[in-house]
Structure 1
């Protein structure tokens, strides 16, 4: 691939350029499939894993990879800006591959947890893919490709679920981790062969201590929220994570401002980037919490007379599949819109759509057609929000800081999802009622849950409008004399 005058890879000239572009998009989309195989797919075999290790601590097996991914993100993002995004992406895939192999052969639960922590490095694949695209493609094309890369694997994820279940039944849950390791290894070869190295690198050193403090602090606090509900809020493990997380973040905040080459220069973070991260945090949490509510509503029958329920109205399988289809369409559509109306306006549109859809869930809780529509549009919102968040943040950052900025977007996407899921779960638990000797979610809890998501979307929409008004990204898709990139 040749460099054009702006420093981006010329992917538009000639059939060869088009072929290389298709190859790049295909490989990076498949790289993001590795993220699903490492982070979320193991949930399908969670009961088998619990039985194998003779434990009831599902939280450790479930949340460890995501928590570790949040910890890995700042370190790998900064490393990518200095040493090259392709090189660090390959490293992340190799670490994930090693973690999957360890999980497949782990003789004890603690060895398995260590493997899951290594697998968490796969989370970097998504934001590094985005940074690679922005580094090698012209800005307008990059926005579209970011949508395809971040959302294109959603349909493949849905199809793989059925295969994973069948393989696990026949060969045991370990086969899932062997498959994950194999896919990661194949992607290492593909990335090395197809993906060009970053044309822009930032000279400097990696603040390893700062990265570990920031990542460890975020993972510790997120771990308390994730694990506390299962293990107990005053249990030794979750409390240790909370105290350690708060201490690490406090130490990072105090030290980073005095370092000349800190991981993130807080003083120059930029108001527009902060607004972007807040919007993504709130909106990601809102849509993820609603997606978690969908199967709870779908598994409840209206005959129980709780004021909600869809189980007796038709195929609930469609209800669960609709968001995946929406994600597949929402990401590329958001990229296409961003190239025409600007990434900030597209982000605002995604949040407004999510607000309207969350209101529709009040009706969807008891009407299957409305629920199907809302489920699909929630998926569209999810795909569009992730794509737009990466596009806005990338447009606000200089070329040599794409890695660290993309990692921050990935962090707030993950943290927002966990925090709002916890808040919703706490509401459902506190409002549960007893029916025929069993505990079920009440209508008060379900509709309060939806109302919280509506509130988060509404606040995010207000912030998104402020973002559009405060930046030149409404009409510009690349830096110009009238649009100065902000430092991060």
Structure 2
């Protein structure tokens, strides 16, 4: 190996490492708060229902901002938009860490939601600056960081809050974000691949309002009542605006989302699976941690603390790390479509184990680990399908739409899980806890949704794309110098 070749490989490794660390930032800001919502409620003097806005606000901001950030990244520079998202997230962490009121805490958490865009934009950068033969492995590793961050996040939350208080959660997340913010300009070259045209402000406004209305209705429907005027009104507004947004995007010369690109078979399959598997992914983590923390008196709960329940999910996170090196080999040999179908089938098998096995620490941890293994394959395959098929100057926006649709799936999964777990309960003392049957119903739904994703993937023909560096694009002639430098 020549000295120049060694230097390029080292540079490529640093790029992948820093971008993967940004994925850990995304996972931490999503998971750290979740197991400690009751503590936040007590500390802020609000109800548990009100405290859930600490999660809902981050979800809404991330889901809505991601497609907008993706389009801006394609137009004005991917590294620049990653730096902007990190800066907003860090300021949000500072506000949350130093806040003296619940409203400021929610504001800080909302700003942290901008970090969600780091993952799809980072994956699109990999396509621009890495040689094609390294792309699938890098995408798999960055996708697996969601599992790594989630694995660390839940037990870490308990340790941090116990020793340094609730504000330490935001100081730690902000510190990790600051490390990435400082490292990015030194390690990552700005991509020369940019799309021309004006930013679609009207399309952005319509999509923002529509998705906010729909996601808010889905997230809060169980709490507000699915037949309440507020929930129904939000659904009507969201659906109506989306109905006007689609023809606008088809007519405007510089759309926020190129819907014609989105219906290409590989991208369409990935987007459908994003909704279905986003639903299945969320149910697994939510149901497993709840089941582990149920009182022992129920006869099926294990009475674990939030930190212990998080540690029980560690095998799944470790499995995701290990499989980050396996899924690219499957993709290179049989294609990303096969990897995605395999992931969906493995997720379904993990849910089958949860249905048939008696709930014990081993069986719950095993079932969750198998689901995590399938998630590892799916999260690596979906952006690979998109990255191989989208025009070079649309990869950030295409991956961002996929991330948005995954948020729709997770929000729907949260709503369905809450409704099912509340529909069948047993009394333990003065408290009502979900009955074992409700968990079995939830796992069966997760299995069915995963099977549906596998059927969709296998039933749609996905032709093998051209190599990443030869995909025809409007700006193909403007291939960035960084590809040669890192290749």
Q: Would you say the 8 A contact 1:147–1:335 is kept in 2?
A: yes
Aligned residue in 2 for 1:249 = 242
Q: Would you say the 8 A contact 2:132–2:469 is kept in 1?
A: no
Q: Would you say the 8 A contact 1:324–1:379 is kept in 2?
A: yes
Offset of residue 156 of structure 1: 5.4
Q: Distance in 2 between matches of 1:430 and 1:185?
A: 44
Offset of residue 231 of structure 1: 4.5
Offset of residue 425 of structure 1: 2.4
- CA 1:53–1:303 in structure 2 vs 1: closer, same or farther (change >3 Å)? closer
- CA 1:370–1:61 in structure 2 vs 1: closer, same or farther (change >3 Å)? closer
Q: Would you say the 8 A contact 1:60–1:227 is kept in 2?
A: no
Question: Which structure 1 segments of 5+ residues have no match?
Answer: 1-10
Offset of residue 302 of structure 1: 7.9
Q: Distance in 1 between matches of 2:176 and 2:92?
A: 13
Find out whether 1:120 has 2:135 as its counterpart: no
Q: Distance in 2 between matches of 1:330 and 1:219?
A: 35
Find out whether 1:73 has 2:38 as its counterpart: no
What do the CA deviations read for 1:341-379 (whole angstroms, capped 9, x no partner)?
A: 211111111112112222222123435544333221111
Offset of residue 219 of structure 1: 2.7
What do the CA deviations read for 1:432-455 (whole angstroms, capped 9, x no partner)?
A: 244666433233322221211111
Aligned residue in 1 for 2:278 = 284
Q: Distance in 1 between matches of 2:3 and 2:140?
A: 18
1:471 to 463, 466, 472: 463
Aligned residue in 2 for 1:340 = 333
Aligned residue in 2 for 1:148 = 141
Q: What TM-score do you get using the length of structure 1 for normalisation?
A: 0.87
1:297 to 260, 268, 291: 291
Alignment of 1:384-423 (within 5 A): 384-423=377-416
What do the CA deviations read for 1:285-331 (whole angstroms, capped 9, x no partner)?
A: 113212221123334578745xx55669xx96664222222222233
Q: Distance in 2 between matches of 1:457 and 1:134?
A: 28
Which secondary structure does the structure 1 equivalent of 2:324 belong to? helix
Aligned residue in 1 for 2:268 = 274
Find out whether 1:208 has 2:201 as its counterpart: yes
Alignment of 1:172-321 (within 5 A): 172-233=165-226, 241-272=234-265, 273-300=267-294, 304=298, 319-321=312-314
- CA 1:184–1:121 in structure 2 vs 1: closer, same or farther (change >3 Å)? same
Offset of residue 169 of structure 1: 3.1
- CA 1:322–1:237 in structure 2 vs 1: closer, same or farther (change >3 Å)? farther
Q: Would you say the 8 A contact 1:133–1:145 is kept in 2?
A: yes
Larger relative contact order (CA 8 Å, sep ≥ 6): 2
Find out whether 1:63 has 2:56 as its counterpart: yes
Q: Distance in 2 between matches of 1:453 and 1:323?
A: 17
Which secondary structure does the structure 2 equivalent of 1:470 belong to? coil
Q: Distance in 1 between matches of 2:121 and 2:19?
A: 9
Report the count of equivalent residues.
468
Q: Would you say the 8 A contact 2:137–2:325 is kept in 1?
A: yes
Find out whether 1:25 has 2:11 as its counterpart: no
Which secondary structure does the structure 1 equivalent of 2:253 belong to? coil
Q: Distance in 1 between matches of 2:236 and 2:107?
A: 21
Deviates most, 102-111 or 192-201: 102-111
Q: Would you say the 8 A contact 1:310–1:316 is kept in 2?
A: no
Q: Would you say the 8 A contact 2:337–2:462 is kept in 1?
A: no
Q: What TM-score do you get using the length of structure 2 for normalisation?
A: 0.87
Which secondary structure does the structure 1 equivalent of 2:432 belong to? strand
1:133 to 122, 126, 129: 126
1:429 to 422, 430, 449: 422
* RMSD between aligned residues: 2.9
What do the CA deviations read for 1:378-423 (whole angstroms, capped 9, x no partner)?
A: 1111122111111111111011000101101111222111212321
What do the CA deviations read for 1:126-156 (whole angstroms, capped 9, x no partner)?
A: 1111111111112231111111122146445
- CA 1:310–1:173 in structure 2 vs 1: closer, same or farther (change >3 Å)? closer
Alignment of 1:43-122 (within 5 A): 43-56=34-47, 57-122=50-115
2:5 to 8, 11, 14: 14
Q: Would you say the 8 A contact 1:168–1:175 is kept in 2?
A: yes
